[in-house]
Amino acid sequence: MTARDNRGTARAIHASAPAHDVHPHDTRELRGMLPVLDRLGFDLDALLASAGLRREDVASDAYIAPAACVSVFTRAHQERRVSNLALQLAVHTPVGTTPLLDYLIVSADSVGHGLDRLVRYLRLVNPGIRIAIRAEGDPVRVEIERSSGWFENELTVSLSVLRFRRETDDQLQPLQVAFTHEPDDVGEYARVLRCPVRVKAGWNGWALSQAAMSLPLRRRDPALGRWLERQAADILARLPTGGDICDEVRRALSTQLTAGDIRVDVVARRLATTARTLQRRLAEAGTSFEALRDDARKAAAEIFLGDPTLSIAEVAYLLGYSEPRAFHRAFRRWHGTTPHAFRAERG
Could you tell me the end-to-end alpha-carbon distance of the chain, in angstroms, rounded to an integer?
21
Among 50, 237, 24, CA closest to 151: 24
Q: Is residue 291 part of a domain?
A: yes
pLDDT at 161: 97
Res 6 pLDDT > 50? no
Q: Is residue 87 part of a domain?
A: yes
Among 53, 84, 83, CA closest to 66: 53
Indicate the number of domains in the chain.
3
Q: Which residue has the higher pLDDT, 183 or 147?
A: 183
Res 254 pLDDT > 80? no
Rounded average pLDDT over 136-142:
92
* pLDDT band at residue 322 under the 50/70/90 scheme: confident
Q: Is residue 277 part of a domain?
A: yes
Q: Kindly state whether residues 308 and 333 are assigned to the same domain.
A: yes
Examine the fold and report which residue of 77, 92, 107 is the final residue of a domain before the chain moves on: 92
Sort strands 197-198 and 176-178 into parallel, antiparallel or unpaired.
parallel
Res 7 pLDDT > 90? no
Q: Kindly state whether residues 49 and 114 are assigned to the same domain.
A: no
Q: Kindly state whether residues 78 and 104 are assigned to the same domain.
A: no
pLDDT at 158: 96
pLDDT at 259: 57
pLDDT at 330: 93
Q: Kindly state whether residues 21 and 124 are assigned to the same domain.
A: no
Examine the fold and report which residue of 92, 109, 144 is the final residue of a domain before the chain moves on: 92
Are 305 and 99 in contact by the 8 Å Cβ rule? The answer is: no
pLDDT at 13: 36
Examine the fold and report which residue of 92, 127, 160 is the final residue of a domain before the chain moves on: 92
Q: Give the span between the Cα atoms of 103 and 114, in whole angstroms.
A: 10
Rounded average pLDDT over 113-138:
88
Residue 25 has a CB neighbour count (10 Å cut-off) of: 18
Q: Kindly state whether residues 74 and 170 are assigned to the same domain.
A: no
Q: Kindly state whether residues 52 and 149 are assigned to the same domain.
A: no
Q: Is residue 224 part of a domain?
A: no
Percentages helix, strand, coil for the chain (3-state, rounded to 5) are: 60, 5, 35
Phi, psi of 51 (to 5 degrees): -110, 10
Are 324 and 313 in contact by the 8 Å Cβ rule? The answer is: yes
Q: Is residue 186 part of a domain?
A: yes
Q: Give the span between the Cα atoms of 105 and 161, in whole angstroms.
A: 13
Q: Is residue 310 part of a domain?
A: yes
How does pLDDT run across 256-293, given as a tens digit for each residue?
776 567 888 888 877 778 888 899 989 988 899 999 99
How does pLDDT run across 60-96, given as a tens digit for each residue?
656 676 667 777 888 888 888 888 999 999 999 888 8
Burial of 222 (0-12, 13-18, 19+ CB in 10 A): exposed
How far does CA 36 lie from the centroid of its chain?
15
For residue 216, list its beta bridge partners.
Answer: 110
Provide the residue range defining the domain that includes 15: 3-92
Q: What angle do CA 112, 116, 122 make, to 5 degrees?
A: 135
Q: Is residue 235 part of a domain?
A: no
Rounded average pLDDT over 287-307:
89
pLDDT at 21: 36
> Residue 245: which region, alpha, beta or left (left: phi > 0; alpha: psi -120 to 50)?
alpha
